[in-house]
Structure 1
Amino acid sequence: MTGASPVAPGPAAGGRVLVVDLDGTLLRSDMLHECFWNALSRNPRVLAGSVAALRGGRAALKDWLAARCDIPVATLPYDPRVIARVEAWRAAGGRTALVTATEARIARAIADHLGLFDEVHGTAEGVNLKGAAKADFLTRTYGARGFDYIGDSAADLAVWDVAEGAVSVGAAPRVRAALDRRAGARAEHLPPLAPAGPAIRRALRPQQWLKNLLVFVPMLANLHVDPAALLAAVGAFVALSLTASSGYVLNDLLDLTDDRSHPRKRLRPFAQGSLSAATGTWLFPVLLAAGLAVALAVGPLLFAVVALYFVATMAYSVSLKRHTMVDICMLATLFTLRIIAGGVAIGLELSVWLLAVSMFLFFALAAVKRLAELTDLQAAGRDVSRRGYRVEDRGVLSQMAVASGYLAVLVLALYIDEPGVQEKFGAPWMLWGVCPLLIFWISRMVMLAARGEMQDDPMVWALETPTSRKVLVLIAVFVVLAVVL
C-alpha cells in the first residue's frame, strides 16, 4: 500500500504532514474511470471483465483495471493550484504524502512523475483507501491532527474530521457547507477552475447537430411539407442530436489518451480536465436514454433507426475507426442513416437516387476529413495517423474525395432527367444550376483540406464558412425556383 519517492523527507513544518488526495484534487479527473475507458479502448472485452471483477469489490476492480490500462501520466490534467501548495509546503521543509483510493501502482507512477511527495499510499491488498478507511489509515500513520488534508468530495469528510488543516478543491456546495460545520476556521476552499455548465455544452458539441439537419432532406426532396411531417422531422432531429452527443461523449472518453497528445483535441473538456471522466461515464447513458425516448415517441421505426445509428457509432468509436478505409465507409453510412431517419420519421419511402447521392457525397466528405487530418499530421512532423493512414496517402484520399463527389453530381444529373422529376417540378431545368455549384463546392473543399486550411469537420465547415454558405444559399435558390416557376 506504500511506496516511497526518491525525494528525501525534510523537517516537518509544525510537525504535520501535508496529505493530498488524487482524484478530483491533485488530478482533475478520476483514475478509476480513466483506467476503465483507457482499457476499454484497447480491448472491448474489458467491459465484461470489469463487471466480473467488480464482484470482488472496488479494490479488486481497480487492481484488475490497473493491469490492463496504459495511461501516460505526464499528460494527465493536474490542478496547478494544488501542485503549487505542495511545492510551497516542501519549500518550507514540510513532508508531503499522496494518499488516494487510486490503485497503488498508478498512484506511485503519478508521484514519481511529479516528484513532489515523500510518501505514496494507494488502494492495494483488497483495501479501498477511501472515506473512513482512509481516515483510519491516516490516524494510525500520522496521528489525529498530525496532518493537513486536501480533498474534494463527501467521502473526504471523514478524513477532514481527523485532520488539522482542511482544504477542499472544487467541492460541491453541500460538501463545502458540511466541511465548514465540522472544521470551522480550519476549513479553506479552492473553487472549481471553471464552471461545469459550459464544459458540458462543449462536450455535447452542439455545432455538430448541424449534421442532423439532414433529417429534413427527404421531406424537402419530396416536396412533402405539412405540420405533422414537420413535427416528426423535428422529433427525429432532436432524437439524433441527443444520441449523437452521447456518441461524442463516448468517443471522447475512449480517445482520452490520444486526444491529450493532439494539438487541438487536447483542449476538449475531458482531455483538459474541465470535465472528469467520471462525469462522462454517467453523461453519455443519460443522453442516449433521452434520445431513444424521443425517437420512440415519434414512432417505433425511428426508434430502431436511431438505435442502429448509436450501435454503428459505438462500433465506429470502439473499433472501426482504427481500420483504414473502413472508417471512411462507416462515416458515409452514418451520414446516410440521418437521411433514412428523416424518411422513416415522416413515413416516406426513400428513392434510390437520394440514397446514391448521399452515399457518394458523404464518402467524399469523410475522405476530406481524413485528408485534412493527414495535412495537419504532416505539418506536425508526424508520418502515421491513429487511423492507420500515412502522410503519403494524401494524394489517394484527395483523388477519392474528388471522384466520389463528382459521382454524386453525376447521379444528381441523371436524377434531374428522370420523368418523375420532370412532373414533380414546375421548372426542372433550374435544377441543373445545382450541378456546377456542387462541383465548385467539392473541388474547393478538397483543395482547402489539402492546404491545411480546414480546421473543422467538413459538414460543420460547410455550414460555417462564408463562401460555402453562399453556395448552399444559391443551391436553395435554384431548388425553390424549380418548384415555384
Structure 2
Amino acid sequence: MLLETGMAFVRSQPLKLFYPLRWLLKGKATLKEGLALGAHIDVSALPYDPVVIELIKTQRLSGRTVVLATASHHSLADRIAEHLQLFDLVLATDADRNLSAERKRDVLVELYGEGGFDYVGNSLDDLSVWDVSRKAYLVNPERGVEPRAKARGNVEQVIVSNRSSYRDWLKALRLHQWMKNALIFVPLLAAHQLTNLTLLWQGVLAFVFFGLCASSVYLLNDLLDLADDRHHKTKCHRPFASGRLPIGAGIIAFPLLLAAAFGGSALLLPWAFSGTLVAYYILTLVYSLYLKRQMAVDVIALAALYTIRIIAGAAAFGLELTFWVLAFSMFMFLSLALVKRYAELHEARTRGRTEKTRGRGYYPADLEMISSLGASSGYLSVMVLALYIHDQATTILYAHPQVIWLACPILLFWVTRVWMLTHRGQMHDDPVVFAIRDRVSLVVGVLFGLVFWVAA
C-alpha cells in the first residue's frame, strides 16, 4: 500500500514529486500519512486475494477473533476493513508509530500474549511476528522468507495463490506493441535504401532501443494508472492492476529498461536519435500525467507519439523526412487515436453510462462527433497519398508512379472497414492489436506494400 499510494500521489500531484522525500526525513510514519492522505485510493477495487478472504471467513465461522494488523496507515486500513467487513479490530500505523516488524510484534504480544495468536504474512518483516505466534501462515511469501519461517517450526500452511510468471512480464512489457516501432523503417523505405545493410543494421538497433524505451513507458504508465485500469473492463487484467506483478518490481524495472535504451542509443546511434527518444519519453510522461485527460489534446498527442517513431527512424538513418510522409502519418495516426477513444466510449455507452469516462476528457454522448472526426482524418490521409503521386520527387523515385494509385482504394477500404467495425462495437481497444490479429488487415498490408514494390 505504501508503493500504491506513492504512485497515486505522483499521478495526482506530479508537481509535488519531492514532498515524499521531505516526509521520509521526518520518519516512515510521516511518509505513510502524507501519501495516504494526499492520494485517493479506491479500496473497493484493490486486488484482494480470494484464498486469503476464504481463510478469514473460515476462521470467523469457527468463532475466532480476526485482527487486521498492518503497517499501512490507519486511514487506509480502516477503509479496507469497512469495505471487507471481515475484521473485529484494526491495528495500523498512525502519526506516532510505524506499525511494522518489532513494533507490530510487541503490540500483538501485549494484546494476546506470546503464542496467543496465529499470524498471516508474507515478508521479511513478518519473521519477528512469527517468532511469537502460535501458528504461521505464509501467503505468496517473498524470496527467502519461506525457508527462514519454516526454520521456526510453527508454519501451519504456505498459500501460493498468485505467483507471477514470465508471461506476466511479457504482457506488462507489451512486446506486441513493438510492432509500432516498425515505423522506424518508413524513412528507409521512402528513400529506397532498404538494401543498404549498414543503414538496415542501424534500423534494427533503433528498433530495439525504441522498444526498450517504450516498454519502460508502458510499465510506468501501468503503475500510474492502477486506479483507472482496475475500473476498466479489460485493463483490470493487466499484471500490475490485477496484482499478478508486485508494484515494487515495476518501480525497479522501468528505470533499468530506460537506462538500457538511452545508454545503447547514445553509444551506437547518432545523437539525433537519442534526442528524439528523449522527446518521445517526455511527451509520453506528460501524456500519462496530464494530457490523456484533456479532450482533443490527448488524441493529437497519441498521433504525435506514432509520428515520432518515423522521425526517430530518419534520425537513426541520417535521412531527411518529406512533407508527404509527415502529413500522411499525422492524419492516419490521428484517425487511429480516435478509433481508440471511440472504442472506449462505445463500451461505456453499452453499459448505460452517461458521465465522463474515467481518466478521459470525453462523454459517451461524444461518440458521433469522434467517429466523424476520425473517419475524416483517415480519408485525409488517403488524399495526401493521392497528392503524393503527382509530386515531382515521386516521379523520380518510382519507375511507374501511376501504379501507386492502386494503393488509394486499398487504403480507403481499410479505413472504412476499421471505422465500420468500430461503430459496431467490434474493435479492440487498441487498433494496433486489432491490425496484427485481423486477417483482412494483414492482407491489406501485403497488398499495399506490393503496390509500392511494383511501382518501384
Q: Measured at CA, do residues 65 and 172 of structure 1 come closer, stay the same or move farther in structure 2, by a change above 3 Å? A: closer
- Is 1:219 matched with 2:188? yes
Contact 2:140 2:163 in 1 (8 A): no
Query: Which residue is equivalent to 2:175?
Result: 206
Asked if structure 2 preserves the Cα contact closer than 8 Å seen for 1:251 and 1:317, the reply is yes
Q: For 2:230 and 2:180, how far apart are their aligned partners in 1?
A: 26
Q: Which of 49, 62, 72 does residue 32 from structure 2 map onto?
A: 62
Deviation per residue, 1:432-464 (Å, 9 max, x gap): 111111111111111111111102311221222
| 1:357–1:408 CA contact under 8 A, matched in 2 | yes
Distance apart, 1:185 and its partner CA = 5.1
Contact 2:135 2:154 in 1 (8 A): no
State which of 331, 341, 344 in structure 2 corresponds to 1:360. 331
- Aligned pairs for 1:398-413 (under 5 A) are 398-413=371-386
Deviation at 1:173, TM superposition (A): 4.4
Q: Which residue of 2 aligns with 1:320?
A: 291
Asked if residue 160 in structure 1 is aligned to residue 140 in structure 2, the reply is: no
Moved more, 109-118 or 133-142: 133-142
Structure-2 separation of matches of 1:323 and 1:400: 16
1: CA distance, partners of 2:410 / 2:341: 23
Q: Which moved more, 1:55-64 or 1:248-257?
A: 248-257
The question of whether the paired residues in 1 share the 8 Å contact of 2:414 and 2:444 is answered with yes
Q: Is the counterpart of residue 236 in structure 1 residue 209 in structure 2?
A: no
**Alignment counterpart, residue 155 of structure 2, candidates 186, 193, 212:** 186
TM-score (norm 2): 0.96
CA–CA distance in 2 between the matches of 1:304 and 1:99?
A: 49
- Aligned counterpart in structure 2 of residue 100 of structure 1, from 46, 70, 77: 70
1:127 counterpart residue number:
97
Higher relative contact order (CA 8 A, sep 6+): 1
* Contact 2:71-2:100 at 8 Å conserved across structures: yes
The CA RMSD measured in Å over matched residues stands at 1.5
Deviations 1:28-52 (A, max 9, x none): xxx1111122222222124222222
Contiguous gaps of at least 5 residues in structure 1: 1-30
Question: Which amino acid in the other structure matches residue 329 of structure 2?
Answer: S
Q: Tell me the number of residue pairs that the alignment of Structure 1 and Structure 2 aligns.
A: 452
1:278-427 matched pairs, under 5 angstroms: 278-297=248-267, 298-383=269-354, 384-386=356-358, 387-427=360-400
Moved over 6 A (4+): none
Give the counterpart letter for 1:360 in structure 2: F
CA offset digits 1:72-98 (Å, max 9, x no partner): 211111111111111111111111111
Q: Mapping of 1:166-181 within 5 angstroms?
A: 166-181=136-151
The answer to whether the 8 A contact 1:210-1:460 is kept is no
**One-letter identity of the residue aligned with 2:26:** G
What is the match of residue 434 of structure 2?
461
Give distance in 2, aligned partners of 1:180 and 1:306.
Answer: 49
Q: Can you list the C-alpha shifts for 1:51-80, whole angstroms capped at 9, x where unaligned?
A: 221221221111001111221211111111
C-alpha deviations, 1:314-339, integer Å up to 9, x for none? 10000000000000110011000000
**Residue type at the aligned position of 1:207:** H
Aligned residue for 2:153, secondary structure, equals helix
Secondary structure, in 3 states, of the residue corresponding to 2:69?
strand
Equivalent-residue separation in structure 2 for 1:399 and 1:473 (angstroms): 28
Residue aligned with 1:270, SS: coil
Partner of residue 39, structure 1 = 9
- Give the superposition deviation at 1:278: 2.4
The CA deviation string for residues 250-297 of structure 1, in whole angstroms up to 9 with x for no partner, is 222222112212111111111211122222222222222222222223
Amino acid at match of 2:449: A
**What per-residue deviation string (whole Å, max 9, x for no partner) do you get for residues 141-164 of structure 1?**
322211111100112111111111
Superposition TM-score, scaled by structure 1 size: 0.90
Structure 2 residue aligned with 1:24: none
Q: Separation in 1 of the partners of 2:327 and 2:21?
A: 43
Identity of aligned residues (%): 41
Verify the 8 A CA contact 1:430 1:482 in the aligned structure 2.
yes
Match of 2:22 in 1: 52
Q: Distance in 1 between matches of 2:252 and 2:452?
A: 44
Deviation string for 1:348-368 (max 9, x for gaps)? 111111111111111111111
